[in-house]
Amino acid sequence: MRSRPLLAQETETKPLSLRLQELELDPWDALVLGATVFLAIAMPLEAVFESLDALWLMVASAAISVVLVIDIRRRLHAEGRRYLRGWFPVDLLAAIPFDLFAEIPGIAGTSAGTGLRLLALTRVLRVTRLFALQRRWRIQTSLNPAVLRLSFFAFWIALVAHWMASGWIALDGPTSAPSDLGPYQGSLYWAITTLTTVGYGDITPTGVGQTYYTMGAMAFGAAMYGYIIGNVASLISNIDVIRARHLRRVETVNHFMRDRRVPHELQAQVRDYYTYLWDSRIGQETEILEDLPRPLRVEIALHTHRNILEQVPLFAGAEGEFFRELVGHLELRVFLPGQKLMRRGEIGRELYFIDEGSVEVLDRNNQQVLAVLKDGDFVGEMALLSDEPRANTVTASEYCRVYALDRNGLDHVLTGFPDVADKMRSIAEARRIESTPD
């Protein structure tokens, strides 16, 4: 009975940096994404204020066009005709600096300049690429999908409010805003109160254009409100489906135990067992793994259990393929506090790996605790080598999740690895001679 060092037992928490790497967003992609968001914010303001007074804005617009042209060239080289039939027109429009053309002397201040500024709004269409990015991130990352979904939703709401505020400015909506607010602040305030269906009425539309614009904004706000409520209700209902299935199972078990007149103490232990399954989500884990094809199940099990298996003296020096076959024979079991994993004197046929919880190894009289084994420890390895009775009783001191490996599973694996089998037989013979207790 041996255990690996406690430091190696600790469950590794996946760092945020690794999760961000799963987004497959290299520095160039991040630069292009930033340029896309900048266009979505800046172009509507350029169109409504009809000004590019700030030199840094002109430089930024030119730099973004260069970045997007390079990105188009990279994608043409990587994707070819598929790109031409897909996002190429949208990316091309976003790369043309119509807003800079509107500042050319002789064009600035004319109707042609105004038309070019309106044409620059087509550059905003590139932001639709974020929908595809959102779908890809939700599938390929281990980030919480609810958090990812809410983050994108907050971004779209903020962007739509910005666009609505820009449209209100174009309709001279700021003239009805409080005097201490600037044109954009007043318009953004109106957009947010309208989108959230609050509508205090302190900024009201005047004229046909503003009235119809406000009607459209209120309709969109009502639809957005319904979308939010629908998504929240969907999330809650999905949670309730899982909980309802768990409660139905518990009720079925309770009905069975009442019909069979199972003692109340034993009924309480069964209910505690199902409560632990729900709290630890073991049942969901098992169902998910069962849905996966065997190669994926083996890879996940190998990633989870290999460090523990390699600490067992019987498996020392075994090749990777041996562990790949072995993990398929591990069986998940749960023990409640006070339950015995093994009893002194019984013939053992299983080795236990402790995944979560702790167990106590008792002396020959089952009175004193000889050792306490915790996450990552193992016990009962001699059961795989001989039919000798157990030397000690081992009891769960708390809720304990273990993986059991029986002799039949090991024997099946050893048929393909005769070298490991010979080594294990040598160890068994040496321990038999030494009469080393389990």
pLDDT tens for the 438 residues of the chain, in order: 444 433 333 333 445 455 556 666 778 888 999 999 999 998 888 888 766 566 788 888 899 999 999 999 999 988 888 888 888 999 999 999 888 888 888 887 788 888 888 888 889 999 988 888 888 787 766 666 667 777 888 888 899 999 999 888 888 755 666 667 778 888 888 888 888 877 777 777 888 888 898 899 888 888 877 777 777 666 666 555 667 777 888 889 888 898 888 998 888 888 888 888 877 766 666 666 777 787 888 888 788 777 777 777 777 778 888 888 888 888 888 898 888 999 988 888 888 888 888 999 998 888 889 899 988 788 887 777 777 788 889 999 998 889 888 888 888 888 888 888 887 777 766 766 664 444
Q: Is the full-model pTM beyond 0.95?
A: no
The predicted pLDDT at position 45 comes to: 84
Using one digit for the tens of pLDDT, what is the confidence trace for 377-396? Answer: 888 877 777 777 888 899 99
Put the strands of the sheet holding 350-356 in their side by side order: 331-335, 400-406, 350-356, 378-379
Residue with tokens 């060092």: 5
Q: Are 401 and 304 a contacting pair, CB within 8 Å?
A: no
CA pair distance 84, 79, nearest whole angstrom: 8
By the 10 Å C-beta count (0-12 exposed, 13-18 middle, 19+ buried), 273 is classed as middle
Domain ranges of the chain: 23-140, 294-434
Phi/psi of residue 157, nearest 5 degrees: -65, -45
Q: What letter represents residue 348's amino acid?
A: G
Q: Are 351 and 343 a contacting pair, CB within 8 Å?
A: no
Q: Are 307 and 353 a contacting pair, CB within 8 Å?
A: no
CA pair distance 110, 4, nearest whole angstrom: 79
Q: Which pair of structure tokens corresponds to residue 225?
A: 């409100």
Q: Which CATH fold would you assign to the domain 294-434?
A: Jelly Rolls (2.60.120)
The predicted pLDDT at position 436 comes to: 47
Using one digit for the tens of pLDDT, what is the confidence trace for 116-131? Answer: 888 888 899 999 888 8
The predicted pLDDT at position 8 comes to: 35
Give the number of other Cβ atoms within 10 Å of residue 437's Cβ.
12
Residue with tokens 């999740």: 401
Using one digit for the tens of pLDDT, what is the confidence trace for 153-164? Answer: 888 889 999 999
